[in-house]
Chains A and B, each alone.
Chain A
Amino acid sequence: MANIAAQRIKREFKEVIKSEEVAKCAIKVELVNDSFTELKGEIAGPPDTPYEGGNFVLEIKVPETYPFNPPKVRFITKIWHPNISSVTGAICLDILKDQWAAAMTLRTVLLSLQALLSAAEPDDPQDAVVAKQYKEQPEMFRQTAKHWTSVYAGGPAKMSDLDDKIRRLTDMGIEEHNARVALSSYNWDLERATEQLFMTVMAKN
């Protein structure tokens, strides 16, 4: 890794650690290796959102050309959000692409991602299924996102009705996460989710 990238990341790392957001437990970074090429980020779900109470872990890869090119960031924690892939955690935020500027830092990236959790941009969806639900059935979306937060990000909400539906599917031998994805994608319609799951299984065989 280029010296400049490592040096800059070291400083930014310190900057984040000392920031007031860290003091308030809103964001966090940790080193993954000694060479500063990979970091683990963490952001707290913002209050008054379905993500409240959850902790979201991010994978941050620093390219050799940093800070002239953006870091590569994705969600490790599974999340239900129109701008984040529920499958891979990929994010298509403009500042992580063509709107990146060398003056931005790890801290600004983490804060922007936190802001994205507060205000989704459904017109620039990265997960079309989630985006459709977000626009057409906002309450359903909120419930689903809250449910994902509680299951994957340690959120407080327990939603027994949703858990029951998942159990119905796992009892049939479906893997739990697959069951959750199918139900979430079909607005928790057990019948359609089941149908879709078994179609896929059949197609695979």
Chain B
Amino acid sequence: MSFLFNLLKGAFLRMLQLIWFGKRKISNSLSIYVKTNTGNTLSIDLDPKWDIRNLKEIVGPQLGISPEDIKIIFAGKELHNSTIIEECDLGQQSILHAIKLPPGKNRLNRKKDTKNLIEESIDEGSEANESGSKPLNETLIDLPLEDSDRHENHSEQEQQQARAHFYVYCSLPCKSVEAGKLRVRCATCGSGAVTVDRDPQCWPDVQQPRRITVHCENHDCQTLLSSLAQKDEGTPQVRYAQFYFKCANHVSLGEKDEAVPLYLIKPNLRNVPCLACTDTRDTVLVFPCEAGHVTCLDCFRDYCVARLRDRQFEFDDNHGYYTLPCPAGCQNSHISEVHHFRLLSPEQYEQYQRFGTEEYVLRAGGLLCPRPDCGMGIIPPDQTDEERSRSPDEDDCRRIQCIGGCGYVFCRRCLQGFHVGECDSQQPTTYSSTSAVSCLSGYAIDPLRASEAKWDEASKKTIQISTKPCPKCRTPTERDGGCMHMVCTRAGCSFQWCWVCQTEWTRDCMGSHWFG
């Protein structure tokens, strides 16, 4: 009887829905998909003000299941009947999972924490034994970077304030830094019809595998797990969560639509002022140093641009990332998720990538094409020791062609156009790489400025007058007065040299011509 009633109620709600949409297109209507564990997918239009019970009443009849026998799973949580749809952080085209409960099991609550029990008994005493909980976005608190900083026993109010906000880099279609949503699936079968056994409490919980177990509703999962277990004895018999992120700015493009989490960007819950401008902003970047130094996003951009201009990004030797440390100069503070540099403009990011590639080439023993508009990284073919010892100065070994770039043929030693015989004694001028400072007033060439500078004779002359190459890495260095003590700022070089002697800086240099 009640089934019939529900069927009617469902039909009524659907009609209501139709009328609603027919009359005045509800601007905030939500189109979602409901996937079942039996392989069906329904497309449903919802009013975000509805609760999960309303949803069950619409879905039930279409699936031929009584609404009480359905549980709705989203983002790793079984949603409680009284949960309002708009609280769930659902986007357009999001996928909810509707699971038919086995007969007689629907009132047995699985792993329910007491807090939810209490809430329910207050909210709706009549349905105290109903299962489900609040959606993940409502319960998840801001994740600390380290395991050890886990939040313990947050009060309800603290939890509200500390609610997690995520930022992601969306490569498609937004191509920008956006708000992100945390989602979860079964690590064994990839199904989203899972409920997590606990909320993640720190970034390692989210990023590392096998930290949080799930209950997977996918029927095929058990078969998959047993077949895996047969192949490899070590396969655990429990299922683990696999967390991933979605961009909140665009309509979901399906289950494969993911975004990169920028986990150093956080809401400024502790109201920490920016290290650089001292403003207290809502969104900040927290460096992975022990002190957790904070900059606002504007200052982070400025910091990157300042370092980029001087080519002072560094290779993090542990991981090989071309990156930056904390601007307060802390140890072990390199940013290892380089997508954070997506906060830069597209042009700046492109420059970052280009410099990164070039530095990589230089580190691999290669060199850069000296043509100002090219700068292509070239790794010359390996010379055998025998070849080198036989003809160390042979013209062939000095002849480098920019293959894959502009095709320029040049002399390896002087970086001028290729020539036979001795190099012209004049100093080489290369625009392709930059930087170094005199201890007081030298400054690096702005690569942008340099590449904009056209290869006409006038600019060539002025630059030759005021720049000299680092004697070690040949990076051109500009000097605007001050002392003669130069320190090459190209990451990985740091050669200390004398502007006058163009050799390593010595005590003699200090004594005889420190100031020119």
A and B from one assembly?
Answer: yes
Shortest C-beta distance, B283 to chain A (Å), equals 16
Interface bits A74-116 vs B (CB < 8 Å: 1, else 0): 1000000000010110111000111111110000000000000
Which B344-383 residues have C-beta < 8 A from chain A?
none
User: Interface size for chain B: under 10, 10 to 19, 20 to 34, or 35 or more residues?
Assistant: 20 to 34
- Tell me whether B204 is interfacial, beta carbon within 8 Å: no
Shortest C-beta distance, B177 to chain A (Å), equals 19
- Tell me whether A133 is interfacial, beta carbon within 8 Å: no
Also in contact, A102 and B309, with CB within 8 A (given A68-B302, A97-B487): no
Provide the residues of chain B in CB contact with A90, threshold 8 Å.
439-440, 482-483, 515
Please tell me if the beta carbons of A8 and B515 are within 8 angstroms of each other in the complex: no
Shortest C-beta distance, B498 to chain A (Å), equals 13
- Tell me whether A2 is interfacial, beta carbon within 8 Å: yes
The CA of A96 and the CA of B276, in the complex, are separated in Å by: 17
The CA of A65 and the CA of B323, in the complex, are separated in Å by: 18
Please tell me if the beta carbons of A102 and B510 are within 8 angstroms of each other in the complex: no
Please tell me if the beta carbons of B440 and A92 are within 8 angstroms of each other in the complex: yes
Residues of A within 8 A of B (CB-CB), count: 30
The CA of A87 and the CA of B484, in the complex, are separated in Å by: 13
Please tell me if the beta carbons of B483 and A68 are within 8 angstroms of each other in the complex: no
Please tell me if the beta carbons of A8 and B440 are within 8 angstroms of each other in the complex: no
- Using CB atoms, name the residue of chain B closest to A91: B440
Also in contact, A7 and B302, with CB within 8 A (given A65-B309, A85-B514, A101-B328): no
Please tell me if the beta carbons of A102 and B302 are within 8 angstroms of each other in the complex: no
Identify the stretch in A47-55, A120-128, A192-200 within 8 Å (CB) of chain B at 4 or more residues: A120-128
The CA of A204 and the CA of B494, in the complex, are separated in Å by: 38
- Tell me whether A177 is interfacial, beta carbon within 8 Å: no
Interface bits B481-516 vs A (CB < 8 Å: 1, else 0): 011010100000010000000000001001110110
- Tell me whether A69 is interfacial, beta carbon within 8 Å: yes
- Tell me whether B420 is interfacial, beta carbon within 8 Å: no
Please tell me if the beta carbons of A4 and B299 are within 8 angstroms of each other in the complex: yes
Among B276, B307, B437, B441, the residue within 8 A (CB) of A4 is B276
- Using CB atoms, name the residue of chain A closest to B482: A90
The CA of A190 and the CA of B306, in the complex, are separated in Å by: 51
- Tell me whether A67 is interfacial, beta carbon within 8 Å: yes
Please tell me if the beta carbons of B441 and A72 are within 8 angstroms of each other in the complex: yes
Among A8, A101, A126, A129, the residue within 8 A (CB) of B327 is A101
- Tell me whether B303 is interfacial, beta carbon within 8 Å: yes
Please tell me if the beta carbons of A68 and B276 are within 8 angstroms of each other in the complex: yes
Which B298-315 residues have C-beta < 8 A from chain A?
298-299, 302-303, 305-307, 309-310
Please tell me if the beta carbons of A72 and B293 are within 8 angstroms of each other in the complex: no
Please tell me if the beta carbons of B440 and A72 are within 8 angstroms of each other in the complex: yes
The CA of A100 and the CA of B303, in the complex, are separated in Å by: 13
Provide the residues of chain B in CB contact with A68, threshold 8 Å.
276, 302-303, 306-307, 327
Provide the residues of chain B in CB contact with A168, threshold 8 Å.
none
- Tell me whether A135 is interfacial, beta carbon within 8 Å: no
The CA of A193 and the CA of B310, in the complex, are separated in Å by: 44
- Tell me whether A158 is interfacial, beta carbon within 8 Å: no
Please tell me if the beta carbons of A88 and B515 are within 8 angstroms of each other in the complex: yes
Shortest C-beta distance, A181 to chain B (Å), equals 13
Please tell me if the beta carbons of B302 and A65 are within 8 angstroms of each other in the complex: yes
Please tell me if the beta carbons of A4 and B298 are within 8 angstroms of each other in the complex: yes
Also in contact, A97 and B510, with CB within 8 A (given A4-B276, A88-B515, A102-B275): no
Please tell me if the beta carbons of A97 and B329 are within 8 angstroms of each other in the complex: no
The CA of A117 and the CA of B299, in the complex, are separated in Å by: 34
- Tell me whether B277 is interfacial, beta carbon within 8 Å: yes
Provide the residues of chain A in CB contact with B310, threshold 8 Å.
69
Please tell me if the beta carbons of B276 and A102 are within 8 angstroms of each other in the complex: yes
- Using CB atoms, name the residue of chain A closest to B296: A4
Shortest C-beta distance, A4 to chain B (Å), equals 5
- Tell me whether B466 is interfacial, beta carbon within 8 Å: no
14 inter-chain pairs at a CB distance below 8 angstroms, sorted by A residue, are A4-B299, A7-B278, A8-B277, A8-B278, A65-B309, A69-B306, A92-B439, A99-B329, A100-B329, A101-B327, A101-B329, A127-B514, A128-B507, A128-B512
- Please report B residues at the A interface, Cβ cutoff 8 Å: 275-279, 293, 298-299, 302-303, 305-307, 309-310, 327-329, 437, 439-441, 482-483, 485, 487, 494, 507, 510-512, 514-515
- Please report A residues at the B interface, Cβ cutoff 8 Å: 2, 4, 7-8, 11, 65, 67-69, 72, 74, 85, 87-88, 90-92, 96-103, 125-129
